Structure 1
Amino acid sequence: MNFQIAMLLGQDGITNGAIYALLALSILLVFTVTRILLVPQGEFVVYGALTMASLQAGQPTAMVWLLLGLTLIDCALDLFDAARASHAFRFPRRTPLKLGYALAMVALVTQLPLAELPMAVQALLTLALVVPMGPQIYRLVFQPIASASSLVLLIVAIAVHVAMVGIALLLFGPEGARTTPFSEAGLELGPVTFNSQTLWVIAVSLALIVGLFLFFERSLYGKALRATAVNRMGARLMGISPSLAGKSTFFLASLIGTLSGILIAPITTLYFDSGFVISLKGFVGAIIGGLVSYPVAALGALGVGLVEAFSMFWASTYKEIIVFTLIIPFLLWRSLTSRHVEEEE
């Protein structure tokens, strides 16, 4: 291996590590606030990439019909909860807004010349279609069982992952897809030329990380989510809604996942079932952070990307095994240094 090859591998490793870091942060965020290990986080990546590819192909994506269906179920549950309330029936004010948003997206997707739209508009339309799935999934699946044990929540998360993979196959088909790169330019540093898409991934990842830091440090909603992560019962006693916290974290997770899919779609071909392996690598980074520390999780995910890239050169056949083996020493260390407390029924 010479210096040029090492730089190329390092470029791939940093690109992949940046995406894994974002997924690790979103997995960690959802887990600390809701105790849900978000197994289907990688599916948001796949949905974002394949929806973007569908828009660029000029085909009205079936994703909009999934959005409309989930919105109708969400609105029906809101009306049912309002009818069951002990006080007088009050029509949920957000129900018309949710339904109007879904119908507006149907009109846009079916009427606009999708393939002729600027790439920035296509990306925004992809985010508008896929990101609402996060809060909707929490509302339909996890909110009714929010007080269940962590094991039950994990089993349900696995079921959601399996369902989303099947729905992706139904919506997008078995063929993989790539999207058009954001730009063809590059940055030359000595003998190595950095792909423009790599620079986009790194720049957007850093912007998201800084944005999340400012959100949690400066905004009221961010501080409420931090309080929920530190002490859920105390946050509830202070008037912070657990359902709002859950929906907010799922919104952030779906936003990060969808944006990650848009970023990596020009670099690699994604299939309907590619999300699980991607989210597992983000999960390895989250485990390195002990499912507690955001900076350590981000650094761990970056290390996963670099190990994966250099493993492709030295032992490409065992690349996945080497990456997932990284989790073992950290699990052993956590097991030996943590106090085990039996959960009381």
Structure 2
Amino acid sequence: MDLQIALLLGQDGIVNGAIYGLMAVALVLVFSITRIVFIPQGEFVAFGALTMAMMQGGKVPSTLWLLVAVALLSLAVDLWRVSRGELVNWGASFLWSVAMPLVAAVLALVLKPTSLLLQALTTLCIITPLGPLMYRLVYRPIADATVLLLLIVSVAMHGVMVGLGLLFFGAEGSRTPAFSEAQFQLGEMTVSGQSLVVIGVALVLVGALYAFFGGSMIGKALRATAINRVGARLMGVPTALAGDASFALAALIGAVSGLLIAPLTTVYYDTGFLIGLKGFVAAIIAGLASYPVALAGALLVGQLEAFSSFWASAYKEVLVFTLIIPVLWWRSRSSRHVEEDEE
């Protein structure tokens, strides 16, 4: 391996690590607030990329009809809860079940976007509401269940979303045009504009999340819920809405990640699962608790994958996922069991 190859591999590792970092941040966010190990996080990546590809082909994305169907179902559930005398936050229900699907439908069906940026915006408007709607329909009724039960439900939801992906997009993969066709020469290394877009957007998104959690009332409410859910509820924080917000952010992060990688690689209906698993490895390195450690772990995963693809390409996935074994061993030796804390 010469210096030029090492630099190219390092660049690929940074770009991949940026995507895995976004996945890891989303997984840590959802778990810390809701105790849900969100296995279907990667499906938002595939749905985002393939929704964009369908609009590039001049078609109405099938995910729009999925959004409308899920929104109507969520609205029906809220009406049923009212009939039983339960309280419903109609503001949040209107936002996710009416307003966002309506905006997405206007963008996709009326405006029929042709520019790249407007198509990306339409994709985000379609995919983002799917997160909180999924939480409302699937996870909120069992919000107080054990972590194991929530994990089992997440695995089931992964299977459902992969099946829907195959139904909506077919078995063939798709790519989208790059957001930047520029090429830059740094010494002996060529850097593509799309790679810089990926890294730049990832940094901006992480910075925006840092500012959101540190400077906004909603962000502080989410932090309080993550630290102590019962205490936050006693202080008046609507923890059910915290679940909506965390899933909305996770879906947004997944959709953005899909838009970023679609110009770099062919995306299939099940591509997101492997990307999500690598983000999960980074999240496990952080103990599903620390955002900075999750980002550092994602960069480590990206570099390990890139250099493994050169030295032992047939075993690169094995080497990446083997990284989780010493981390779990070390954490099992240095951390108390979760149930000990609950007692």
- TM-score range relative to shorter protein: over 0.9
The answer on whether the counterparts of 2:48 and 2:254 sit within 8 Å (CA) in structure 1 is yes
Q: Please list, as runs of the form range in 1=range in 2, the aligned pairs for 1:56-135 lying within 5 A after superposition.
A: 56-85=56-85, 92=90, 98-99=97-98, 101-114=100-113, 117-135=114-132
For normalisation by structure 1, the TM-score amounts to 0.95
Number of aligned residues:
341
One-letter amino acid of the structure 1 residue matched with residue 247 of structure 2:
F
C-alpha distance 146-209 of structure 1, shift in aligned 2 (>3 A): same
The equivalent residue for 1:12 is 12
The equivalent residue for 1:198 is 195
Q: Any gaps of 5 or more consecutive residues in structure 1?
A: none
Rounded Cα–Cα distance in structure 1 between residues aligned with 2:135 and 2:175: 29
1:261-319 CA distance string (max 9 Å, x none) = 00010001111111111111000001111111111111001110010000010000000
The equivalent residue for 1:187 is 184
The answer on whether the counterparts of 1:79 and 1:92 sit within 8 Å (CA) in structure 2 is no
The equivalent residue for 1:33 is 33
One-letter amino acid of the structure 2 residue matched with residue 317 of structure 1:
A
The answer on whether the counterparts of 2:51 and 2:123 sit within 8 Å (CA) in structure 1 is yes
Rounded Cα–Cα distance in structure 1 between residues aligned with 2:307 and 2:89: 58
The equivalent residue for 1:21 is 21
Rounded Cα–Cα distance in structure 2 between residues aligned with 1:290 and 1:108: 40
CA RMSD of aligned residues (A): 1.7
Q: 1:137 aligns with which of 107, 112, 134?
A: 134
For normalisation by structure 2, the TM-score amounts to 0.95
The answer on whether the counterparts of 1:82 and 1:92 sit within 8 Å (CA) in structure 2 is no
Q: Which moved more, 1:186-195 or 1:260-269?
A: 186-195
C-alpha distance 322-195 of structure 1, shift in aligned 2 (>3 A): same
The equivalent residue for 1:338 is 335
Rounded Cα–Cα distance in structure 2 between residues aligned with 1:3 and 1:101: 49
1:34-89 CA distance string (max 9 Å, x none) = 000010000000000000011111111111110110010011111111221268xx
Rounded Cα–Cα distance in structure 1 between residues aligned with 2:91 and 2:250: 25
- Tell me the CA shift for residue 183 of structure 1: 1.8
The equivalent residue for 2:320 is 323
Rounded Cα–Cα distance in structure 1 between residues aligned with 2:6 and 2:36: 38
SS of the residue aligned with 2:184? strand
Q: 1:253 aligns with which of 246, 250, 253?
A: 250
The answer on whether the counterparts of 2:180 and 2:197 sit within 8 Å (CA) in structure 1 is no
Rounded Cα–Cα distance in structure 2 between residues aligned with 1:281 and 1:93: 36
1:67-116 CA distance string (max 9 Å, x none) = 110010011111111221268xx9945656533542453344234444xx
Rounded Cα–Cα distance in structure 2 between residues aligned with 1:131 and 1:86: 27
Rounded Cα–Cα distance in structure 2 between residues aligned with 1:317 and 1:86: 55
C-alpha distance 167-91 of structure 1, shift in aligned 2 (>3 A): same
Q: 2:148 aligns with which of 148, 151, 154?
A: 151
The equivalent residue for 2:268 is 271
SS of the residue aligned with 1:36? coil
The equivalent residue for 2:291 is 294
The equivalent residue for 2:168 is 171
Rounded Cα–Cα distance in structure 2 between residues aligned with 1:75 and 1:171: 23
C-alpha distance 81-257 of structure 1, shift in aligned 2 (>3 A): same
The answer on whether the counterparts of 2:55 and 2:119 sit within 8 Å (CA) in structure 1 is yes
One-letter amino acid of the structure 2 residue matched with residue 263 of structure 1:
L
The equivalent residue for 2:48 is 48
The answer on whether the counterparts of 1:24 and 1:297 sit within 8 Å (CA) in structure 2 is yes
Moved over 4 A (4+): 93-97, 341-345
